[in-house]
């Protein structure tokens, strides 16, 4: 299984449809994607809709989306780091998830 890390800057340049197409193409090729940042709620909805359209029990059972956000307050400022992991369905198991720690097992 391959893991691709995609920066915020790379995602900014893409329209919603292009992001969804890229994500599904990679996941269907057995790749786990780690996005710097999050998809917008609208993008997540469109991703789920398109995933449901493309499900095939023999070749593509869907995706898993895992959001990992760490927010800590430093005085009045807020430092937020976030990742979104998108994996082929059934390939990733979250073992432990806290605001500061994420442990996953890949099968």
pLDDT in tens, 78-107: 556 689 999 999 999 999 998 888 999 998
pLDDT in tens, 6-55: 999 999 999 999 999 999 999 999 999 999 998 999 999 999 999 999 99
| Torsion, CA 60, CA 46, CA 42, CA 19, rounded to 10 | 70
pLDDT in tens, 60-73: 999 999 998 765 54
| Global pTM value | 0.84
User: What is the per-residue pLDDT for 77?
Assistant: 46
15 CA to centre of own chain: 16
Query: What is the C-alpha separation between 74 and 97, in angstroms, rounded?
Result: 22
DSSP string, 31-47: EEEEEES---HHHHHHH
Query: What is the C-alpha separation between 105 and 39, in angstroms, rounded?
Result: 23
Q: Which domains does the chain have, with CATH numbers?
A: 2-106 (3.30.110)
> 107 to each of 31, 37, 50, 94, how far by Cα in Å?
12, 24, 24, 11
């Amino acid at each position: 299984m391959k893991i691709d890390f995609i920066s915020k800057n790379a995602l900014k340049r893409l329209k919603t449809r292009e992001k969804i197409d890229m994500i599904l193409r990679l996941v269907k090729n057995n790749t786990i994607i780690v996005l710097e940042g999050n998809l917008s709620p609208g993008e997540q909805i469109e991703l789920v809709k398109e995933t449901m359209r493309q499900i095939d029990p023999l070749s593509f059972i869907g995706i898993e989306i895992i959001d990992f956000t760490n927010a800590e307050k430093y005085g009045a400022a807020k430092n937020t780091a976030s990742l979104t992991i998108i994996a082929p369905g059934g390939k990733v198991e979250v073992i432990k998830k806290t605001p500061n720690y994420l442990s996953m097992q890949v099968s």
